[in-house]
Chains A and B, each alone.
Chain A
Amino acid sequence: MTETVKQRPKFLALHEIRLPIAGFVSILHRVSGAGLFLLLPWLIYLFELSLKSPDTFVSFQSYVAHPLVKLILLGLIWAFLHHFCAGIRFLLLDLHIGVEKQPSANSAKAVLAVSLALTLIVAIKFLGVL
């Protein structure tokens, strides 16, 4: 790099950047993916516990009954469902479906609504929340 290269404008005050709804869904898609990746070993551990033996299955059940564990699992369930729904939206965009401005904003809102609703349903049905 030479000294004559001008400093490019940089604005990283994330809380002040007003992202369009589609951009918000997109960055959450990345964040949810990262979160799933980071906790993947833990999820495989739970998978192993649930299958190894009837005894470890019981340990798995009592482990998952713990409120803190439930909270983390809830976060991961949201992460997976958001990533899934936002991913479907991206696949449709790849097929050029919904690329205009208003349909794109609508589908982004739908992703948020559906993923949050499904998270609630899964939480009630499988985590025994509420």
Chain B
Amino acid sequence: MKARIVVGAHYGLKDWLAQRVTAVVMAIYTLVIAFAFMAGVGDSYENWHVFMSNSFVRFLSFLFILSLCFHAWIGVRDIWMDYVKPTSVRLTLHVVTILALVGCAGWAVQVLWRL
């Protein structure tokens, strides 16, 4: 495999774009959920459960969870890159962050699908 180029023009473009695309996906989902709540979806366990078990809502929620984890990865990675200069510490934090996010994604998806 050809060596990754980590400097210069267009470096970071994919992540920059991904962060914005995932943001838009999550923003749309947020509005959908906000409207649902205003329509009384959270008023009782039955309403809430039926709503979240709906196939289309599960589909959207799944996309939200994946978007959230990637969006959070880029954001938190940027924080480590800005403030943590020692490379070994920073890379360790990267690994911990990824593990935490992957774990959270799996857990949240499992909550969605065990309904």
Residues of A within 8 A of B (CB): 30, 33-34, 36-37, 40-41, 44, 47-48, 50-52, 54, 57, 84, 87-88, 91, 94, 126
Contact = CB atoms under 8 A, between A and B. Distances in A.
Interface in B78-115: 79, 100, 104, 107-108, 111, 114-115
B107 A51 contact: no
B6 to A, nearest CB: 20
B72 A37 contact: yes
Contacts of A84: 27, 30
A91 B107 contact: no
Given A44-B111, A57-B48, A88-B27, A34 B104 contact: no
B24 interface: yes
A47 B76 contact: no
Given A40-B104, A54-B45, A30 B79 contact: yes
Contacts of A87: 23, 27
Contacts of A33: 72, 75-76
3 nearest A-B pairs in the assembled complex, by CB-CB distance: A57-B45, A48-B111, A54-B45
Contacts of B114: 52
Nearest to B61: A47
A34 B79 contact: yes
A44 to B, nearest CB: 5
A37 B93 CA distance: 13
Given A33-B75, A40-B72, A50 B48 contact: yes
A91 B71 CA distance: 14
22 contacts: A30-B75, A30-B79, A33-B72, A33-B76, A34-B75, A37-B72, A40-B100, A44-B104, A44-B107, A47-B108, A47-B111, A48-B107, A48-B111, A51-B48, A51-B111, A52-B114, A54-B45, A57-B48, A84-B27, A87-B23, A91-B24, A126-B37
Contacts of B72: 33, 36-37, 40
B20 A51 contact: no
Given A33-B72, A40-B72, A44-B107, A91 B20 contact: yes
Contacts of B42: 126
